[in-house]
Amino acid sequence: MAPKYKVTYFDIMALAEPIRYLLSYGGIEFEDVRVKGDDWPKLKNGTPFGKMPVLEVDGKKAHQSIAIARYLGKQVGLAGADDWQNLKIDATVDTVVDLRIAVVNAVFADEATKAQKKETLEKDTLPFYLGRLDNQIKENGGYLVDKKLTWADLHLAATVDSVNGALKTNIAANYSNVGSLTEKVWNLPKIKEWRAKRPSASM
């Protein structure tokens, strides 16, 4: 019998969205639990590390969104073919995470530094990352790694989805290769279906 999957996170895209994308892509039914901010403190102790997202597979709990994404990437056939390819996928995903962290640090900065951080984000950080990612996609036939769809591509598309919400913009607007890849992922039938039926979230 197929394992039962449950994803527990806040009612936003953010860290859980790559996980939800991967499960959807694989046609894997999952319980999509969304926790309200006020309810979170009392649930903490039931989690492996006091944080979310948490993936539960037949009652076994795992934490850390990227570790989970890597695991699901393997389950749904989107992992690399060998160690070196997986290394390239990991390196790319970690880089996109660096970008996401920079966005979060700017969006949630305290009032004193927010304006300056947002300016640095827009003028330096985003162009730095998006420019290189755009180039990488161009050099890889429209995908992030080795000219084929991997979980890195789904992770990027889910991150763009969330960051666009957080910044209220389309960060891929001036990066045509990033934009095309994101659209390509969003148009995969199972991802399209997920994005149409999921609860709406601000970021």
Partner 1 sequence: MAVKPKLTYFNCRGSGEPIRYLLAYGNTEYEDVRFEDEEFPKLKPNFPYGQVPVLEINGKMIPQTLAICRYLAKRNGLYGSDDFEAMQIDAVADAIVDLRNAFTFCYWITPEDQRPAHEEKLKKQTLPFYLSRFEKSLQENNGYFVNGKLSYADIFFAGQVQHFSDNTKYDITDGYPQLKALVEKVENIPQIKAWIEKRPKTDF
Q: Which of 4, 27, 91, 170 touches partner 1 by CB under 8 A?
A: 91
Q: How far apart are CA 79 and CA 70, in angstroms?
A: 8
Single out the residue of 15, 20, 13 nearest to residue 193, CA to CA.
20
Neighbours of 31 (CB within 10 A): 10
Q: Which of 70, 100, 155, 195 touches partner 1 by CB under 8 A?
A: 70
For residue 10, what are the β-bridge partners?
A: 35
Q: Which of 36, 42, 60, 197 touches partner 1 by CB under 8 A?
A: 60
Closest separation in Å from C-beta 159 to partner 1? 15
Q: Which of 33, 34, 90, 167 touches partner 1 by CB under 8 A?
A: 90
Task: Say whether residue 62 binds partner 1 (CB under 8 A).
Answer: yes
Helical H runs in 17-110?
A: 17-25, 40-43, 65-75, 83-107
- Hey, CA dihedral for 71, 72, 73, 75, is it positive or negative? positive
Task: Say whether residue 101 binds partner 1 (CB under 8 A).
Answer: yes
| Stretch 33-52 residues interacting with partner 1 (CB under 8 A) | 48-50
Cβ proximity to partner 1, 57 vs 201, nearer residue: 57
Closest separation in Å from C-beta 68 to partner 1? 7
Q: Which of 27, 29, 40, 67 touches partner 1 by CB under 8 A?
A: 67
Task: Say whether residue 81 binds partner 1 (CB under 8 A).
Answer: no
CA distances from 177 to 106, 124, 160, 184 (A): 25, 19, 13, 10
Q: Which of 77, 123, 128, 189 touches partner 1 by CB under 8 A?
A: 128
Q: How far apart are CA 151 and CA 113, in angstroms?
A: 35
Q: How far apart are CA 83 and CA 43, in angstroms?
A: 37
Binding site for partner 1 (CB under 8 A): 48-50, 57, 60, 62-64, 66-68, 70-71, 74-75, 83-84, 86-88, 90-91, 93-95, 98, 101, 105, 128-129, 132
